[in-house]
A = this chain, B = another copy of it.
Amino acid sequence: MSLKELARHLNVSPATVSLVLNNVPAARAISKATRERVLAAARHFQYRPNFVARSLRAQRTYAVGVIVPELSDGYSALVLSGIEDLLLREGYMYLVASHRHRPKLIERYPAMLIERCVEGLIAVDTPCEHPLPVPVVSVSGHRRVPGVTNVVLNHRRAGELALGHLVGLGHRRIAFIKGQAFSSDTEVRWEAMRSAARRFGVPVQPGLVAQLEGESPSPELGYVAARKLLAAGQTFTALVAFNDISAIGAIRAFREAGLRVPEDVSVVGFDDAYAAAFHIPALTTIRQPLYRMGMLAAETLLRLITAGPGAQRSYLKVEPELVVRESTGPAPSDQT
């Protein structure tokens, strides 16, 4: 049932119905009797305005696009939860597209979403090279692109927390698993770890650095990386992994090599994904407030949409948190 039909049925003009239903100031010029008649009829026929027509007229869709690498890795899903909660609360909805790191899709999806008339874009862990005709907020984006606001973790602090914890436990020979080349946090996090290591006076040895390779969101990649570290032959008493998933894979590799965690090797994860707390051993990790980052991103985007780029900042920082569980312990004293 359209507004026009409703109007015909009531023997009034569409304008009258629209004014009344939207309860605009001008509607006070409509007599109380008519107003009530309109409202009653709308209720009776369960009239719902057509969203598409309204969008066309108002040039507003109350929709935003969200681009993520992968739906089924804990990371994106948590950020997405935060995004969703804020958006729905504000009357927006969102379209999702996940590119699985395929460059073609990374290129195409923003354009597709913009063609769908989204009013803004949130890119989660996804590079965002070109300026776009709508406001963009990037979660864990680090490039300074005009019109793009980046929501980032305080990585300097994260590095301090991770290394400080291990150093405090007596670890000096620390191995690292870097993230995949395509992950936007990889470089920043690695720099943060190196710089923290420098500050703590801990050497970072080339033989003790492995990198995740491949796109699977499974611990397999961490498993492979950890095996490389073991194969390289340099001993270490602790590992800082790029994320919890790879930490879990690494622990499996260590176990298979006869190393106990944390007695022989301490492992620090990153993110504090759901899996971290309930793994055996439970993971010590650097928590990113992913849900809050999602909310912050959405909130920022809506502000950009409604208030314009005004005092747009390039970076919004959130703070990490060290969560100590079972996967870290004192460095073994009988180091070779």
- Seen from chain A, the residues whose Cβ lies within 8 Å of a Cβ on chain B are 48, 50-53, 55-56, 61, 63, 70-72, 74, 77-78, 80-81, 84, 88, 93-98, 112-113, 115-117, 217-220, 223, 248-249, 251-252, 255, 274-275, 277-280
Contacts and interface: CB of A to CB of B under 8 A. Distances in A.
B95 A50 contact: no
Contacts of A115: 48, 51
B84 A274 contact: no
14 contacts: A50-B56, A50-B117, A52-B61, A70-B81, A71-B84, A72-B78, A72-B80, A72-B274, A94-B96, A217-B274, A219-B274, A219-B278, A252-B280, A275-B275
A218 B96 contact: no
Given A52-B52, A248-B279, 10 more contacts: A52-B56, A52-B117, A71-B71, A88-B97, A93-B116, A96-B96, A219-B274, A220-B278, A249-B278, A280-B280
Contacts of A98: 81, 84
Nearest to A60: B52
B72 A81 contact: yes
A63 B277 CA distance: 37
Nearest to A273: B72
Nearest to A50: B117
Copies of this chain, complex-wide, total 2
A252 B278 contact: yes
Contacts of A248: 278-279
A184 to B, nearest CB: 20
Nearest to A105: B88
Contacts of A81: 70-72, 98
B117 A51 contact: yes
Contacts of A51: 115-117
A271 to B, nearest CB: 12
A77 B71 contact: yes
A88 B96 CA distance: 10
Contacts of A48: 115
Nearest to A55: B52
Contacts of A252: 278, 280
Nearest to A93: B95
A223 B278 contact: yes
A51, A115, A252 interface centre (most CB from chain B within 10 Å): A51
A60 to B, nearest CB: 10
A125 to B, nearest CB: 15
B218 A274 contact: yes
A274 B251 CA distance: 16
Contact of A280 (B74, B88, B113, B251): B251
A255 B280 contact: yes
Nearest to A84: B98
A117 B255 CA distance: 53
A84 B112 CA distance: 14
